[in-house]
Amino acid sequence: MSLVVVGSVAYDGVETPHGTVERMLGGAATYIALTASFFTKTSLVGVVGNDFAEEDRALLKEHDVDLEGLEAADGKTFFWKGVYSKDMNERETLDTQLNVFAEFDPKLPEVYREQPYLFLGNIHPGLQKGVHEQMHNARFVGGDTMNFWIEGEAEALRAAIRNWDFLLINDSEARQLSGEYNLRKAAEEIHKMGPHTVVIKRGEYGAILFRPEGFFVAPGFLLETVYDPTGAGDSFAGGFMGYLAEQGVTDIGMATHQHLRKAMIYGSVMGSFCCEQFGVGRFRTLERADIDERFEEFRKFTEF
Amino acid sequence: MSLVVVGSVAYDGVETPHGTVERMLGGAATYIALTASFFTKTSLVGVVGNDFAEEDRALLKEHDVDLEGLEAADGKTFFWKGVYSKDMNERETLDTQLNVFAEFDPKLPEVYREQPYLFLGNIHPGLQKGVHEQMHNARFVGGDTMNFWIEGEAEALRAAIRNWDFLLINDSEARQLSGEYNLRKAAEEIHKMGPHTVVIKRGEYGAILFRPEGFFVAPGFLLETVYDPTGAGDSFAGGFMGYLAEQGVTDIGMATHQHLRKAMIYGSVMGSFCCEQFGVGRFRTLERADIDERFEEFRKFTEF
C-alpha cells in the first residue's frame, strides 16, 4: 500500500534573512512525498522538465519515493522565486515560471490507481477532481488549496472537495473559503462542504484539527532560528498523512482520537524540521529517531 | 496571606464588532484582582476619583478584594476609550484621560507591606520599584510593562525588573525589550535582566512560559465569539499568579513544573472567560466550578 501524492515539483529561489539560494529542489509534492516517506511508502505524481537534475531524482529515490508517476516533459521545470519579510510571516513572489507545469495533466500509473491513500497537493481543483476519479479504491483522501483557487475557481473547488475526507488549509484561506472569521465557525462551514476533518494551519502557531465532535490544538515548535519556512505547510501534510498511513488508518473517519492527535503532532514535527535548513535540506540527513525525539519534546512542552 | 496587586483602576469605553459600551469598570488592577480573587485573597492598590461608583466598589468587595489600598482622590477616575479592528487583533485608542491617575503615588497600608505576593501592573517603572521597596517580605514578585515604558523609560524599567521573579509581557514588547525577534532568544535576554521566569503572551494564540531550564506552551482557548478582548492579558496574570498563591507557592523559583504549567493554563482559562462578555462582565457570574471545567477542556484539546 502506498500514499499517492499529487502536486508541483519545482525549483525554488528563496531569499530569507538568513541567506539566499538561487535554485533548489522544491514544490509541494516534493515536500509532501519526502516527509511522508519517513512513515510510509509514497508515490509521486507530477511533472518535471528536462532540466530536472539527476541528483534530485536520486534524493527522492533514496527515500523510496516511487517516481513512475513523475512525468518528464520537454521543457523547463516549474520555477518559483520569493523573498521573505524579516519576521518571515510574509513572503513576496518575485518570479513564477510555470513552464511544463502549465500543461500538467496528471495521469496515474495503473498500480497507483489501486492505492487507498491520496493527497491532492495544491493544483487546479479540476485536476484534483480528475485524479481523485482515477483512484478506484481511494478510501482516505485529502488535499490542500489556496486563495488563488478560492477566488477564481470557487465552483470547481467546491466540486473537488465535496468527496474529500479532509481539507488542509491555512487560517486566512479557511476564512476566505467559509466567509467566517472565527476558526470554529469557519471549520463548521467547511464540514458542510464535505470534509469531516479540517486541519487549519496557523504558521508558527501550529495547527488545529476540527472534527464535528471536537477540536485539537497542536502548537508550533519554537525554533531558535528559522532558516527558511518554504514547504513547512506541505511538510506538515506529509507528517500528518504519513503517520496515519503508517498506523494502517485506511479510513480517517474511523481513526481514533489518539491517532489523529499524534498525526497532528507528527505534522508539526515535520514542519519544524523543514524550517531548520533551506529547502528540503534538513530531510537529507533526518532520521526517524530524530522525528520521534522531537515528538517527545512536543509532549514535554505541552503536558500539564 | 494575600496577593497585593498594584495598577490602574479605570473606566473604559470600548467598541468591538459586537457592540459599544460607553463606560464600564476597567483597569489592569481591576482585572488582575478580580480574576486572582477566584483563587486567593487579593489586596488592591490604586486610585479612583469621586465619580467611582458604589456598585463597582461593591463588585470588588463581593469578590473579597481588600480595598484599603484603593485611594479615593478628588477628581475623576482614569478613563480610556478604544476601538477594536474587525478581527480584534488591533486596537486604536480614541481617548485617554489620566485624571487622578496622573498623580498616582502608591502608598501601601501597613498590613499589605507584610504580604509575600506582589504583582505590579503596568504603571511607570519608577512607581513599580517604589512599591516593591515598600514590601519587606515580598518573596514572589512579578509584573507587566508596555512599549511606552520600554521606549521612554528604559533605564527605570531595567532597574525595576532587576529584582522581579517574573515578567509578564506580550510578544511584540518582549521583542522590543530584548532586541531579539525570536522568542526563545528574547526570553534568554530577559532572563539576563533579572526575571528567571518570563511569560510571553501571544494574544489569541496563548502564552509561553520560559525558564532557564525550558519552556512550556499554553494555547489560547478557541472561543466561538470574542465579545471584547480588553483585559484578557490582565486576566491571564490574575489566573497565573492567583493559582500559584492558592497552591502556597511562595517562591516561584522553587515552584514545581507541574504548578507552573497549571498556572499557565489557569491564566489562559481566565483570559478566555474575560473575552466572553464586555469588560469584567463575565466575572460577575463566574464560579470556580466553571474555571475548573474549562481547565479540563484545555486538557481535552491538547492531550495526545
Q: Do A224 and B265 touch (CB under 8 A)?
A: no
Burial of B127 (0-12, 13-18, 19+ CB in 10 A): middle
Q: Do A300 and B214 touch (CB under 8 A)?
A: yes
Per-residue pLDDT reduced to its tens digit, A213-241: 999 999 999 999 999 999 999 999 999 99
pLDDT bucket at A89, cuts 50 / 70 / 90 = confident
Could you tell me what percent of chain B has a pLDDT over 90? 96
Nearest CA in chain B to A181: B87
Q: What is the pTM of this model?
A: 0.95
pLDDT at A247 over 90: yes
The segments of chain B whose pLDDT lies below 70 read none
Mean pLDDT score across all residues of chain A: 96
Would you state the pLDDT for residue A87?
83
Q: Of A276, A230, A280, which is closest to residue A82 (Cα–Cα)?
A: A230
Helix-strand-coil split of chain A, %, nearest 5: 40, 25, 35
Would you state the pLDDT for residue A61?
98
Q: B217 vs chain A: nearest CA distance in angstroms?
A: 6
**Residues of B with Cβ-Cβ distance to A202 under 8 angstroms:** 205
Distance CA B182, CA A224 (A): 7
B184–chain A Cβ distance below 8 A for any pair = yes
**Residues of A with Cβ-Cβ distance to B216 under 8 angstroms:** 301-302, 304
Would you state the pLDDT for residue B253?
87
Distance CA A300, CA B215 (A): 9
Q: B119 vs chain A: nearest CA distance in angstroms?
A: 24
**Residue B44 cell numbers, joined:** 488592591
Would you state the pLDDT for residue A253?
87
Chain B, residues 27-56, CB within 8 A of chain A, namely none
Give the C-alpha distances (Å, rounded to integers) separating A202 from A246, A261, B54, B108, B256. 25, 16, 45, 45, 31
Q: Do B181 and A87 touch (CB under 8 A)?
A: yes
Per-residue pLDDT reduced to its tens digit, A30-45: 999 999 999 999 999 9
Per-residue pLDDT reduced to its tens digit, A147-198: 999 999 999 999 999 999 999 999 999 999 999 999 999 999 999 999 999 9
Q: Is the ipTM of this complex over 0.90?
A: yes
A18–chain B Cβ distance below 8 A for any pair = no
Could you please report the per-residue DSSP string of A85-98? Answer: -TTSS-EEEEEEE-
pLDDT at A75 over 90: yes
Would you state the pLDDT for residue A86?
86
Per-residue pLDDT reduced to its tens digit, A14-29: 999 999 999 999 999 9
Whose cell is 534568554? That residue is: B188
Would you state the pLDDT for residue A271?
98
Chain A, residues 240-259, CB within 8 A of chain B, namely 258
Could you tell me what percent of chain A has a pLDDT over 70? 100
Q: How many interface pairs between A and B have CB atoms less than 8 angstroms apart?
A: 73
Would you state the pLDDT for residue B88?
85
